[in-house]
C-alpha cells in the first residue's frame, strides 16, 4: 500500500464513513477533474472491518463515503466498482445512468 499512495501522479481516495458523500454525477465530475488535473492513477482505499488508519487517510487527497450505513467489504467493492463504471458512462453521456 505504501508504494501506491506515494506514487507520483496518483490521486488517492479513502473510502471511509466520515468522508464526503457525492452523487453519481458529482463522482463523475470529480474523476474527470482528476484526469484533467494530470493524475494518471486513481487509488481507492477500502479499509478492513476496523477501518483505515488515520495516517493512511491523511495521505489521501479525498475522503469519500458511500453512505452512513455500514456494508460488508465484498459488497462495498462491488458497489464502488459499479459507481466507477457509472461515472464513466455519465462522462460519455450514455443512457446507462438513467
Q: Kind and range of the H or E element at 13?
A: strand 10-20
Residue at grid coordinates 479499509: 47
Least Cα distance to 2 among 37, 45, 41 occurs for 45
Q: Structural domain boundaries of the chain?
A: 2-91
The overall longest dimension of the chain from CA atoms, in Å, is 40
2-91: which CATH number, 3.40.1280.10, 3.30.2310.20, 3.10.180.10, 3.30.930.10? 3.40.1280.10
Q: pTM to 2 decimals?
A: 0.88
pLDDT for residue 22: 97
Specify the higher pLDDT residue, 96 or 64: 64
The whole-number average pLDDT for the span 66-84 is 92
The whole-number average pLDDT for the span 18-27 is 96
Q: What integer best gives the mean pLDDT of the chain?
A: 91
The whole-number average pLDDT for the span 72-96 is 93
Amino acid at each position: 500500500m505504501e508504494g501506491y499512495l506515494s506514487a507520483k501522479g496518483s490521486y488517492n481516495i479513502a473510502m471511509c464513513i466520515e468522508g464526503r458523500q457525492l452523487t453519481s454525477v458529482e463522482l463523475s465530475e470529480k474523476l474527470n477533474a482528476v484526469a484533467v488535473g494530470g493524475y494518471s492513477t486513481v487509488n481507492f482505499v477500502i479499509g478492513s472491518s476496523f477501518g483505515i488508519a488515520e495516517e493512511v487517510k491523511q495521505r489521501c487527497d479525498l475522503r469519500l463515503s458511500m453512505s452512513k450505513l455500514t456494508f460488508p467489504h465484498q459488497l462495498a467493492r462491488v458497489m464502488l466498482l459499479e459507481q466507477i463504471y457509472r461515472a464513466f458512462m455519465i462522462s460519455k453521456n450514455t443512457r446507462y445512468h438513467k
